[in-house]
Amino acid sequence: MLVESDLVIQRRVMDSSLLGQFFSFILHIDTHLFPLVAEYGIFLYVILFIIVFCETGLVITPFLPGDSLLFAAGTVVGAGYLYYPILVIVLLTAAIMGDAVNYMIGNYIGPNVFSRNIWLLNKDQLIKAHNFYEKHGGKAVIFARFIPIIRTVVPFVAGVTYMNPSRFLFYNIVGAAIWVIGLVSAGYLLGNMPLIKKNFSLVIYGIIIVSLLPIIIEWVRLGVRRKRI
């Protein structure tokens, strides 16, 4: 029994350690990207492509960094280690392809996803994304780009509800362009200012909090409605 309990404790410690490392990577992503540039050079474009593609294209990976990664990548450009046009094209392609793949997966599975328990799919997240999609229509694909978790799930829901492919592609491209160019440019222009560099972790905190505000506000509204009922 003692051995088993020790193993359980060790596993929990390892899990918490991995979780801590993950959040540390996100909050100090600028310090991680520069060593990656030194080690992998132009292959960093490939690494960034894979992360953005998975974050937007796989409904089971909404936890990957998105907004903070784009901003941090912009700071690397500002420092002269990456080329702005190439980075924007790479990330824009990843974002558009990711949403397109997510849409196709949702389109293949169909509406039954809301009535069945499917392994690895969080039904609560799907329902929230569906409500968001119902509220904003096609524009939800654009708005969702700036909301973590929702960003990953809305394209899937658009496919599930059989949104017109051409219409989806239009909103997909527009949303990806605003998201990628906006955040990379912000990182490029602001990321290497002394004040920003000195307080980079706080800036990343701010980006995460601001991007999560719509979800937090919606949770508060739901809580108020339930209390009234």
User: 165-181, pLDDT tens digit by residue?
Assistant: 999 999 999 999 999 99
Q: Where are the domains of the chain?
A: 31-228
User: The pTM is what?
Assistant: 0.76
Pair of tokens at residue 32? 């991680």
CB 145 within 8 A of CB 175: yes
More confident residue, 144 or 209: 144
For the chain, first and last CA: distance in Å? 48
CA neighbours within 13 Å on the CB side: how many for 3? Answer: 0
Neighbours of 62 (CB within 10 A): 19
pLDDT at 87: 96
**What is d(CA 223, CA 220) in angstroms, rounded to the nearest whole number?**
5
Report CA-CA distances (Å) from 142 to 72, 74, 146, 149, 174. Answer: 22, 21, 8, 14, 7
Share of the chain above pLDDT 90, in %: 26
**What is d(CA 9, CA 221) in angstroms, rounded to the nearest whole number?**
38
More confident residue, 84 or 194: 84
Share of the chain above pLDDT 70, in %: 71
Which residues, including other chains, have CB under 8 Å from residue 113's CB and lie 6 or more apart? 106, 121, 126, 160
The tens digit of pLDDT for each residue in 96-107 reads 999 999 999 988
The tens digit of pLDDT for each residue in 13-49 reads 444 465 556 556 655 565 677 777 777 778 889 989 9
9-41 as b/e: b if 16+ CB within 10 A = eeeeeeeeeeeeeeeeebbebbeebeeebeeee
How many angstroms from the chain centroid is the CA of residue 171? Answer: 17
**What is d(CA 220, CA 95) in angstroms, rounded to the nearest whole number?**
30
State the SS3 of 116-167. Answer: CCCCCCCHHHHHHHHHHHHHHHHHHHHHHHHCCCHHHHHHHHHHHCCCCHHH
How many angstroms from the chain centroid is the CA of residue 2? Answer: 41
